[in-house]
Chain A
Amino acid sequence: MHFSGLRVIKEALTGHRGWKPLWRDPEPKPAYDFVIVGGGGHGLATAFYLAKTFGQAKVAVLEKGWLGSGNIGRNTTIIRSNYLLPGNEPFYEFSMKLWETLEQETNFNSMVSQRGIINLYHSDAQRDAYRRRGNAMLLAGADAQLLGPEELRARLPYLNFDNARFPIKGGLLQARAGTARHDGVAWGYARGADMRGVDILQNCEVTGFRIEGGAVRGVETTRGYIGAGKVGVAVAGSSSRVMQMAGMRLPIESHVLQAFVSEGLKPLIDTVITFGAGHFYISQSDKGGLVFGGDIDGYNSYAQRGNLPVVEDVAEGGMALMPMIGRARLLRSWGGIMDMSMDGSPIIDATPVDGLYLNAGWCYGGFKATPASGYAFAHLLATGRPHETARAYRLDRFARGHLIDEKGAGAQPNLH
């Protein structure tokens, strides 16, 4: 089933009776060449690129709940590549380029909207740091533009520029950044993978790994044993729980991150704005809700819900930045579980168990990385070698001292 404008018109004229489910609901086969554990954004993207780019047919995605029920449905939908470090920026720019062609690639409307992102700065030192970051972005082939106070005032007149404590001096703009429809991303990848023969097995929780002679042979699941040539685990949030079944301890703590959406408002914020003096970021969804968030709650949690102190903290950040939103009513808040890695950067690597691969540690930045994470993980699974943009994301970098401390803000050392 190919989606097109013509198809929409045809279905409209014939009572929308021709639409079919986007993917099959197959029974598990006894064995696959590749088993991907985790049917979220990263797992589905991995399966999609394995099938499409690397020509692998015998692939299964195992999801313990329903497709896309984890962090791909709980994020704040921001896509960007405004990183600094050489281990990170080329990877996120690769991801940004994949976002730009995602809808053509998957033939699915993921509502990718390049409305830009503006990181505000509040001091001369912060301006210099953003200038350096912008230059690093330009060197990696991304786009960046430093905005002064006048340009920013013309563009976002409603900001609290003259805040006595955190005056707004300007911002770093990445015009190609923006937002995407998070569920649409999962559905597009799932449909694209399914069309190419990938079995998506929902309600199929992995309960153990079968490891013989130091190599993985398959996985035990709630729907029976499934043999596997290679197993890729992409279950950020639950990575420690799953990898524990393979006898591994990870450099990861699971933390809860809350996000919020207001009632629907008329068009108000036409970009993504981040506060540089606290942790607050905001955009407006196509339905009109203000989508915003802030810091993790700061303690280990698998509860998918947070507590009120952080709600207060996020609201204070918003009020310091743009007091006009104070009268907007909150519609919903929710929590997602983050793999907080010890240096704040992800892991895409082989493990000490032959044939078992790990994609984890996305902290609260996994959504924007979805396409590149899937591509790089598929590359690793299919070829056994890391993708050229993901070479720094090694599991053993902590022991070797090659940390990627982009912000120095993983679970440790308590810089949140």
Chain B
Amino acid sequence: MLIPHPLLGLRDAQEFTYLGDAALLDRPSPEGEGAEAAFCDYVFLRGNPAGVHRELWFHEHGDRSWLVVTRNTLTHEILGAELASEVAKALRGAAE
């Protein structure tokens, strides 16, 4: 698989390590009621879709940036890649 790195162009997936669902960027608040249950869901439960999946890849043997890669889990087709820092900023912006 070749991952279209937003800064470096097409890079072999072998240069990356994989973390999983990009929903992990949206960490629940540790405060308030229901925080324990929310964290349990966050740590252990996964959507695990068959089809389009947004997921975190770390460019370990490259520029050490985190990417959000959109990929089809049925075909391994890669549909796009963004810098995870940009995605996280947008998430925070939407929350505020």
Q: Which residues of A contact B73 (CB under 8 A)?
A: 254, 300-303
Q: Which residues of B contact A240 (CB under 8 A)?
A: 46-49
Q: How many residue pairs bridge A and B at CB < 8 Å? A: 66
Q: How far is the CB of A336 from chain B (nearest CB, A)?
A: 14
Tell me the complex Cα distance, A302–B53, Å: 11
B94 interface residue per 8 A CB criterion: no
Contact (Cβ within 8 A) B45 A249: yes
Partner of B18, one of A252, A299, A303: A299
Question: In the complex, what residue of chain B is closest to A299 when comparing beta carbons?
Answer: B18
Residue pairs across A and B with Cβ atoms less than 8 A apart, 25 shown, are A240-B47, A240-B48, A241-B48, A250-B45, A250-B48, A252-B48, A253-B21, A253-B48, A254-B48, A254-B73, A298-B17, A299-B13, A299-B18, A299-B71, A300-B53, A301-B73, A302-B73, A303-B74, A307-B76, A342-B43, A398-B40, A399-B37, A411-B20, A411-B46, A414-B18
A249-B47, A251-B45, A299-B13 provided; 17 other pairs, C-beta below 8 A?
Answer: A240-B46, A241-B50, A249-B41, A249-B46, A250-B46, A251-B46, A252-B46, A254-B73, A298-B18, A299-B18, A300-B53, A302-B74, A307-B76, A309-B14, A398-B44, A399-B37, A399-B40
Tell me the complex Cα distance, A411–B1, Å: 20
A412 interface residue per 8 A CB criterion: yes
Q: How far is the CB of B51 from chain A (nearest CB, A)?
A: 8
Question: In the complex, what residue of chain A is closest to B12 when comparing beta carbons?
Answer: A309
Question: In the complex, what residue of chain A is closest to B46 when comparing beta carbons?
Answer: A253
In this complex, how many residues of chain A approach chain B with their Cβ under 8 Å: the count is: 23
Contact (Cβ within 8 A) A342 B14: no
Tell me the complex Cα distance, A309–B44, Å: 28
Q: How far is the CB of A240 from chain B (nearest CB, A)?
A: 4
In chain B between 17 and 63, which residues have their CB closer than 8 angstroms to a CB of chain A? 17-21, 37, 40-41, 43-50, 53, 55
Tell me the complex Cα distance, A342–B18, Å: 15
> Contact flags (1/0) for A230-246 with B, using CB distance below 8 Å?
00000000101100000
Question: In the complex, what residue of chain A is closest to B40 when comparing beta carbons?
Answer: A399
Q: Which residues of B contact A398 (CB under 8 A)?
A: 40, 43-44
Question: In the complex, what residue of chain A is closest to B41 when comparing beta carbons?
Answer: A249
Tell me the complex Cα distance, A399–B53, Å: 25
Question: In the complex, what residue of chain A is closest to B51 when comparing beta carbons?
Answer: A302
Tell me the complex Cα distance, A241–B73, Å: 12
Contact (Cβ within 8 A) B18 A302: no
Contact (Cβ within 8 A) B19 A414: yes
Shortest 9 CB-CB contacts between residues of A and residues of B: A240-B48, A251-B44, A398-B44, A249-B45, A302-B50, A309-B14, A299-B18, A399-B40, A342-B44
Question: In the complex, what residue of chain B is closest to A300 when comparing beta carbons?
Answer: B73
Q: Which residues of A contact B19 (CB under 8 A)?
A: 414
Q: Which residues of A contact B50 (CB under 8 A)?
A: 238, 241, 254, 302
Q: How far is the CB of A337 from chain B (nearest CB, A)?
A: 9
Contact (Cβ within 8 A) A300 B13: no
Q: Which residues of B contact A241 (CB under 8 A)?
A: 48, 50
In chain A between 33 and 83, which residues have their CB closer than 8 angstroms to a CB of chain B? none
Tell me the complex Cα distance, A163–B18, Å: 30
Q: Which residues of B contact A303 (CB under 8 A)?
A: 73-76
In chain A between 228 and 276, which residues have their CB closer than 8 angstroms to a CB of chain B? 238, 240-241, 249-254
| Residue in A238, A300, A411, A414 whose Cβ sees the most chain B Cβ within 10 Å | A300
In chain A between 381 and 402, which residues have their CB closer than 8 angstroms to a CB of chain B? 398-399
Q: Which residues of B contact A252 (CB under 8 A)?
A: 46, 48
Contact (Cβ within 8 A) B46 A414: no
Q: Which residues of A contact B20 (CB under 8 A)?
A: 253, 300, 411-412
Question: In the complex, what residue of chain A is closest to B58 when comparing beta carbons?
Answer: A414
Partner of B13, one of A249, A251, A307: A307
Q: Which residues of B contact A253 (CB under 8 A)?
A: 20-21, 46, 48
Q: Which residues of A contact B71 (CB under 8 A)?
A: 299
Q: Which residues of B contact A302 (CB under 8 A)?
A: 50, 73-74
Tell me the complex Cα distance, A398–B19, Å: 19
Tell me the complex Cα distance, A319–B90, Å: 48
Tell me the complex Cα distance, A67–B2, Å: 36
Q: How far is the CB of B40 from chain A (nearest CB, A)?
A: 5
Q: Which residues of B contact A414 (CB under 8 A)?
A: 17-19
